Structure 1
Amino acid sequence: MRRLLLRLLFVVALPAVLVAVWWAGSDGSTDPFWPPLRTILKTFPDVWTGERLRTDVVPSLLRLTAGFAAAAVAGIALGTLIGSYRRVRAVCEPVLEFLRAVPPPVLVPVIMLFAGIGDTMKIVVIASGCVWPILLNTVEGVRAVDPVMLETARSYGITGLARLRNLVLRSASPQIFAGLRQALSIGIILMVISEMIAASNGIGFTVVQFQRSFAVPDMWTGILVLGLLGFLLSVVFQLVERRVLGWYHGLRASTRRST
């Protein structure tokens, strides 16, 4: 119980300090672009009503989910293929290095030419940025599978999908999840960027509309929503990761105890 309380204290301490500093630093501010925190918090419930959550937050989450899921499927599948075969990796590596060096926001005008300005464009933009950390981490995770374990599986006749599911993907899963965690942060950024450029709803669209109408406190509430959304998604991701990689965290804990 004491350990849990200490952990909770560590989690809450830094945000509480940052909020206190923000409150004290902005208190009494007369700058129209830097309103006091108390004004922003007072404006928050008036702006982010149930109706606005339904019309702006939910569409953003659906786009993020669709783009992230598409990137996860493509990244894991291609990463497994490239990481498993040396010749495929040798052929694909120069092209991958070229494509991943192109910033995804730069591709937004190009994607708009082919996908229009609807939800498809936003999903493609999110997926185009999220796929790279997943793909590259999957490649490295598959390459790092113990060759002795691969040979043992082969000698026991474990091949095909059984070998892929029970050995390759399982061994590479910690690194795959590291790529998924990086992709989630990138996805949130690209979700906002795509909605700022061409959208009729969404969090990014709403923040830009507030900025253009000089509703500065309302704009700051949108930034707070994005921060809270990122935090909640990170917590959910950690819970899923803990459940899926329970064997890995247990192994690490037992290793630390033995040393």
Structure 2
Amino acid sequence: MKRVLAAVALPAVLLVTWWFASAGSQDFYQPPLETILRVFPDTWTPARLRGDVLPSLIRLFAGYFLAVGLGIALGVAVGAGRTLRRLAEPPLEFLRAIPPPVLVPVLILVSGFSDRTKILVIVLGAVWPVLLNTVEGVRAADEVLADTCRTYRVRGWLRLRAFVLPSASPQIVVGARQALSISIIMMVIGELLGTTNGLGYTVIEFQRGFQIPQMWSGVFVLGLLGVALSALFGLAERRVLSWYHAARAAERAGR
């Protein structure tokens, strides 16, 4: 209960502050929170949720899981081999320095205004935190356990499954959490150009049509989506890293 109260206390205070600070506002572009909440049910009907939110979620999950899979695979390969790491570091640093939104026009030229382009935009933005954290996690693996694997000739897939991935998993999860936030941002950016549905498209259409309360309600939907996905990620993290959290709790209790 204390954890729940701590989680909702600050958002509740901010909403109440916004409610009273915006009450009676005559600014066309900054309507009262009451107006935004009043148009919310009529704006985000089940039909709009199916037509705009569902396609965005499909693109988001496709791009995110592709980015996580690609980041882990490349990160393990680069982190485990010193020669490959030396060869890959310069091009990786070069590519990481390019802001993913800059590549959107290039991707449109190559693959057009398709869902594949929007998914690639998400992948290009979200792959880096997973890749870099995986590399660091693999490099930071316990040397004693690595020597034990070499002594007992634990190699190949068994070594990867039993030693490398568990050792790097806390770092990988950190990168995956960062990638989730980036994926939502890149999803919206990808939907601003050449699309006919999606949350980003809907918000920009409301803005172009001067439907400002509806536009703000779309921003609310994006925020709620981020909160829901973060909560789901937290549940998955606790399940995947249950052994890690148990070990940390035991370590703290021993102190």
> Given the alignment of the two structures, is residue 43 of structure 1 paired with residue 39 of structure 2, yes or no?
yes
1:228 maps to 2:228: no
Written as runs of structure 1 = structure 2, the 5 A alignment for 1:134-213 is 134-213=130-209
Say which is worse superposed, 191-200 or 171-180, in terms of deviation.
191-200
- Cα distance in 2 between the residues matched to 1:6 and 1:178: 25
Inter-partner Cα distance in structure 2 for 1:41 and 1:159? 58
Q: Secondary structure at the match of 1:139?
A: helix
Instruction: Tell me the C-alpha RMSD between the 2 structures.
Output: 0.6
Q: Superposition pairs for residues 114-133 of structure 1, below 5 Å?
A: 114-133=110-129
The ranges of structure 1 where at least 4 consecutive aligned residues each deviate by more than 3 angstroms after the TM superposition are: none
Structure 1: distance between partners of 2:2 and 2:74: 42
CA apart distance, 1:90: 0.4
CA–CA distance in 2 between the matches of 1:139 and 1:221?
40
Q: Secondary structure at the match of 1:241?
A: helix
Q: State how far apart, in whole Å, the 1-side matches of 2:239 and 2:173 are.
A: 12
How far residue 174 of structure 1 moved from its aligned partner, in angstroms, is 0.4
- Aligned pair partner of 2:109 in 94, 109, 113: 113
Matched residues, number: 255
Amino acid at match of 1:66: A
Q: Equivalent residue for 1:63? A: 59
Q: Percent identity over the alignment?
A: 58
CA distance in 2, matches of 1:17, 1:242: 28
TM-score by length of 1: 0.97
Q: CA deviation at 1:7?
A: 1.2
Cα distance in structure 1, aligned partners of 2:81 and 2:119: 30
How much does 1:254 deviate?
1.1
1:95 matched residue in structure 2 = 91
2:235 corresponds in structure 1 to 239
Unaligned runs of 5+ in 2: none
Match of 1:28 in 2: 24
In the alignment, the residues of structure 2 paired with residue 240 and residue 249 of structure 1 have an alpha-carbon distance, to the nearest angstrom, of 13
The answer to whether structure 1 residue 83 and structure 2 residue 79 are counterparts is yes
Distance 1:104 1:164 in 2: 31
Amino acid at match of 1:194: G
Amino acid at match of 1:171: S
Q: CA deviation at 1:103?
A: 0.4
Q: Secondary structure of the equivalent of 2:221?
A: helix
User: Following the alignment from structure 1 to structure 2, what is the Cα–Cα distance between the partners of residues 255 and 24?
Assistant: 47
C-alpha distance in structure 1 between counterparts of 2:114 and 2:210, whole Å: 26
User: Quick one: distance in 1 between partners of 2:203 and 2:2?
Assistant: 37
**Runs of 5+ unmatched residues, structure 1:** none
Determine the C-alpha separation between the residues in 1 that align with 2:2 and 2:227: 20
Work out the CA distance in 1 between the residues paired with 2:143 and 2:156.
Answer: 16
Choose which of 225, 247, 251 in structure 2 pairs with 1:251: 247
Displacement, 1:249? 0.7
TM-score by length of 2: 0.99
Q: Secondary structure at the match of 1:197?
A: coil
For 1:115 and 1:137, how far apart are their aligned partners in 2?
30
